Amino acid sequence: MNAAAALLKHPYQPSDAPAIVLASGSATRRKLLADAGLVFEVKAAAVDEASIKQASQAEGVSPDETALVLAELKASRVRVAGALVIGADQILTCEGSWFDKPRDRAEARAHLRALRGKTHTLHTAVTCLKNGQVIWHHFEAPSLQMREFSDEFLEIYLDQELPGILDSVGAYRLELAGAHLFDKITGDHSAILGLPLLPLLGFLRQHQAIVK
């Protein structure tokens, strides 16, 4: 978003509303906010997620707590005076194992084979900081039951969906062809995509960032 566009407010946002900053490089989170009609700035924060996850697992910290820590850390790395800075993170677990984003086709295939026929959880946290202080956070844990798809389907799916799914911790994009992978889903759709939208909009209304 260029500087001129950032000065324009959407009708839902009063002219004196605090600025909104998304501390995430996720295209999906960015689209969720944009589709909701919000004007915001994107400032992706660099965080060594892998080392934090490894330390959390070694110390017995839950995936719920770890997702929240990562969300807050991302938001804390972005300082825009007076702005509401949104941080978010998501951790996928299945039968006690934690999953990271796959790096290539082989890892994406391994992820999906490990999840096939099982139910996994997406531990999804969102937080908001203002002037470096946490003023709100929210957590959801939707569950997704993956079907027993064939190896033939899997290879077709990888042909069609790579490289886009390498940005997803589960090697799928539910909003696209990833829907073919599942039998049952429990939880809010936006939380599955990585940003619980309705609770976030409620928070923004409470803090006069958008019209009540």
Q: Which residues are catalytic?
A: 89
Q: Are the C-beta atoms of 72 and 89 separated by less than 8 Å?
A: no
Distance of CA 99 to the CA centre of its chain: 14
Assign residue 37 a region: left if phi > 0, alpha if psi is -120 to 50, beta otherwise? left
Q: What angle do CA 114, 111, 88 make, to 5 degrees?
A: 120
Query: Residue 143: which of 166, 167, 168, 115 has the closest Cα?
Result: 115
Cα 62 vs. chain centroid, distance in angstroms?
A: 18
Listed as own residue / partner, the contacts of 185-190 with beta carbons closer than 8 Å and 24 or more positions apart are 185/142, 185/143, 185/144, 185/145, 186/142, 186/143, 186/144, 187/122, 187/140, 187/141, 187/142, 187/143, 187/144, 188/140, 188/142, 190/32
Spatial distance between the Cα atoms of 30 and 41, rounded to a whole number of angstroms: 9
Reduced to 3 states, what is the DSSP secondary structure of residue 172?
Answer: coil
